[in-house]
Structure 1
Amino acid sequence: MWTTGRMSNAKSRLGLGTSLYFWALMDLTTTVLSSTPMPGVELETLFSDRPQSHQRSKRSWVWNQFFVLEEYTGTDPLYVGKLHSDMDRGDGSIKYILSGEGAGIVFTIDDTTGDIHAIQRLDREERAQYTLRAQALDRRTGRPMEPESEFIIKIQDINDNEPKFLDGPYIATVPEMSPVGTSVIQVTATDADDPTYGNSARVVYSILQGQPYFSVDSKTGVIRTALMNMDREAKEYYEVIIQAKDMGGQLGGLAGTTTVNITLSDVNDNPPRFPQKHYQMSVLESAPISSTVGRVFAKDLDEGINAEMKYTIVDGDGADTFDINTDPNFQVGIITVKKPLSFESKKSYTLKVEGANPHLEMRFLNLGPFQDTTTVHISVEDVDEPPVFEPSFYFVEVPEDVTIGTTIQIISAKDPDVTNNSIRYSIDRSSDPGRFFYVDITTGALMTARPLDREEFSWHNITVLAMEMNNPSQVGSVAVTIKVLDVNDNAPEFPRFYEAFICENAKAGQLIQTVSAVDQDDPHNGQHFYYSLAPEAANNPNFTVRDNQDNTARILTRRSGFRQQEQSVFYLPILIADSGQPVLSSTGTLTIQVCSCNEDGHIMSCSPEAYMLPVSLSRGALIAILACIFVLLVLSNCHQL
């Protein structure tokens, strides 16, 4: 039995009754005899009645815990500790029972000695502790000697897991020219070992590849720039390898690595420069407004928004005649014609063009100025210009029922040269393979040559040519888009064959079919169809039509009691009219078959021949038929007697 008051208090707090206690039980946070007890150390030897046991009153003892190291690889079962009752006289009369988590599977107990062993390899990262229950029984009677007690076996950690970067590999960016110490990214490694015990999970970061450009904080894993004035234009991509080592980085610790791909993002630290200080360009005097004369380019080593350019004409005698715009895709300056040109009036122009960065960073202004200029010389060339159409594009609308030969548009072109040659018109036949149109050779009157059908071709895109009489090589062209307008020339009709089925016991007013219609026309306000019985069926006694006013109609029975034997099929003509001008209509036929149905209204047969055959009889009908047969048999026997 325990002899110290301290032991008695512990047993009382645990509710162990009067006699069951544990050997080799101790809290990991407590140091006994200057070391943590290993599995198999019996507390009976650690807590004898010696004076020094009362000198450790500041320590917090936990009496109901065992501790055992994980990853034991020996061949024999691993000793964990011992259960003992002070009622045990050593004669085998006490039987120790172990139950709870892992009992009999992970842990076993010698029911005579109370020794507990682990029989499986333990992994703290899979399970950190087990809660079990102990009981001492009278071996002869099986009667509990004391109440059941609960205790815990904690798995003691060893350093068997290396740090891992779960989010790696990493991708990061940092602006070029960043000051030394600029934070780039933080990497984090996790260690599955116990962070509360020893240094197994204390991780230290170091950089294996990436010096002298970057450094890493050994405690936080924050990567920072370590070199001044890193230039993206010199080197843009860096592959940095970071190591995380446990045991505080000490020798023997486990390590893991990850890759951090770092890209230097661009800043505007390079001014633009024209590779040419003089450009020579030429333009035909017939060049239309907004036509391109040429391109200039100021090179910028930066990229993206920092390489964006804005070009302007800052001086020159052609500042009012030409314009310049920036192509946002290629960052080039496009010089275009702003006003009509004439070789006879002015043969050359000079422009002074500036290219400048619109997005500047104040800290790099000392590298500027962030603009450059170049001179552009433009020569105007005299040419025999082809005929020019006015306007430069035609859009014509024409109804589809227009009469053949109707003039739908006058096409006009003129010779811009001083000679003002006569013009002859024609249609590019590749643009009108169906030959729906022709143009008067002298007047340019565009007329229809064939009937138009919007339902076949709703648009025509043709090209009209104009040729100088005295110089057939000078040919101008213009695009003419013709939209064919709809007229009401198609009657509505059923989109498919409609067939309906009704039961012989159908009631008056019963819905048997909903119908809809289609029309190839496309009126401006949309289609609206009207439904009614055809004139020849206006007084039909069997069925009627109800217009739903939503382009559909319901077909309803007008009476009840249809019979297959009398008439098995009805043909109902339905008149469908549209809302066009003029109104067009057609007649569609709904085929209605009379069918025999069961009591639930489900169709059984729509064939008149099948009507004579009993398809399905209820249980009551079968009983009635059998009863009749029985009566007939009885009467027949009586007659014979």
Structure 2
Amino acid sequence: MQIQPPVSSHLKLHSNSHNVSRIHYIFISDVRLYIFLIYLKQIIPNTSLENLGTDHFAHMSGHLKRVKRDWVIPPLNLPENDRGPFPKYIVKIKTSKDSNVEINYRITGPGADEPPVGLFTIDRRSGVLQVTQLLDREQRDKYKLWVHAIHAHDGNKAEEPMELIIHIVDMNDNRPEFTPSSFYGQISESARAGDSVMRVMATDRDDPETDHAMIKYRILSQSPEVPSDYIFAINPLSGVISLTGGGLDRETHSEYYLVIHAADMNGEGLSATCTVTITITDSNDNAPQFLIKSASASVPENEAGAEVIRLKVTDEDELGSANTNTKYSIIKGNEGAHFKISTSPDKMEGILSTAKKLDFESTSVFTLLIIVTNEAPFTRPVSTSTATITVTVEDKNEPPMFSPSRIQVALSEDAPIGSSVTYLRAVDPDTARTTKIRYVFYILNADAAGWFNLDQDTGRVSVRSDLDRESHFVRDNMYTVPVLAYDNDTAPATGTGTLIVTLVDVNDNAPVIQQRRVSVCNVDPVPVQLDIVDSDSPENAAPFTVELQGEHSKSWNIKVNASGTTLDQLILPIFNVQWEGGSFIVLSFAVLLLLLILRRRKKHMDHVALLKDPSRDNIFCYDEEGGGEEDRDFDPSLLHRGLNERHEVLCSDVVPVNQTRPSYRHHPQPNEDIGHFLTENLVAADGDSTAPPYDSLLVFDYEGAGSEAESLSSLDSSSDSELDQDFGALQDWGPRFSRLADMYTEGMEDDNDTLPGKTEWV
């Protein structure tokens, strides 16, 4: 048995035991595996040497493990960065069959006929494997080749292809690298010893299973070296930087700079460095301080929300952070909650202002103690800052105040002119001032009805003119007058009050019947109910006494029923009109304009027929001459406007009943223009309906002959002659008299289209 290539100087083969032992230490470029071709030669007749196989021995192994094969090549280990010369011999490959026949060798795979092509070559005849250039483990750490044995004469394979694995053995040819080359970290200034800051990391491209990539770290330098030159430490294996002790102060040193060293081979090999910037972050370890510890300020009284003073502060902590954002409290002198303090938008000022109106007469000076702190809690015990503020209240002219603000009095509506109503009283709260109070109505027409006078100096309110509880100025029996009280200060102040006069009713209004026109049938007539109203209060109204005046009581009865209603006292003209099934009586109130009924008489007519109307089946009453269709849309109430202004019907022969007498002023007011006094009494006299001659409505029941007013028509209705009148002129009176003209135009003789020829009075 023999070994190829010979390494007998390193190993010894024991032929009896077949063991291999080490003669001395073997070190060939860190190759840890050794390849031997071992041949076993037995002296046996008729036999020859036979290649029995290849054995793979692990480094320092004491026993041989044999695998029987035709040819086996164990993995090869080649060092990287071997600089040649090239091509460089690696190993010789030989098959047992090349003793009988000629064998050619070739290799395939990456590094042979695949990229990188030609890195490895093999001699076709000898089987010597060579490397042609420098190897780099960091580019490729293993190559897998296939070795082929081929018959030279026919190209057929002599053996099955054999796998050959080549390992590239690492060399320490790469130094550690920091990525990135600069690191940044931060730590609070209130951090304690042992707190981690950050971690740095370097990498090595060498084999991580070897010491070539085993990196250790250390700090080369620290700047600044305060409070000590070793305030930071680094873990040599992990690269974690931590704090070795306290004492950081951002306000003194806000940044530290470290230089970190990293070396492989456990710190003894190749090395690299990087810089580390550590920022010290702020913590609230400083209390804000008032720039002014004591100050005085003044503020006008009666102004809520008025700014008193601004208090500036300073803080050594980081500006704009919660550690410098301030908040303020009034800890003394604000027991009445008269003041409040807020923070300015930049959080570096305290704004003191009034929370409510101050009263100079109550308290003129306030002494406030104010403390300032931060929004963030303090990280260590600190001394807070306080300021003392003296606030002086400035006196301001305050308006007089009515007490009570609503002055209520009761007064009869027939109170005589000049009588006293009440005295207004207002008090000036400015006790330190000497002022005089005057009184006026709130605005020029505050006394809308003009019923009262007000003495500016004494505040006496008196009756100026007749009162009327039923006036539209009165609401719920109350008449309201706003009043003012002002002082005579250089800048007068005005207070307001309200005078409420409750008018007590007197019986100064006559009852009024609401219905102005009623209709009743003369066949089985039903009593008509008339409603009576009285503008006076209930105690001066019902029960009512009603009666018919004059000779109307002969034909009509009137009485008050249980509900307090009555038949009105009326002059009742009755038209007896024939109707199928009976007659219909129309009762009409006397109106301002009399109805002019023109008729065309027929000889010896005892009964007359109704005028046919295309759209109505009742009596059509024309309120003015002419008639026609236009008259149907006319509002007769317009003719009664003057009459309807009064609430009762007047008769010419009766003195008006319960009419309100106008008020006459007997004496002018002081300093009043005499012309205004005379004009006012003249107007009152013109409206006096009770003064004779009685200005009442004269009701004419009949226009014909014998009437006191004689005839109101140019047509003599009393004439018996049909030729007494010339009706041709009616054609010239316009379309409104066309109907009348048609009736009296010569040649129209229709018994059914005539007006009544006789008015029957009952």
Q: TM (normalized to structure 1)?
A: 0.49
Structure with max Cα Rg: 2
Higher strand proportion (structure 1 or 2): 1
Q: TM (normalized to structure 2)?
A: 0.41
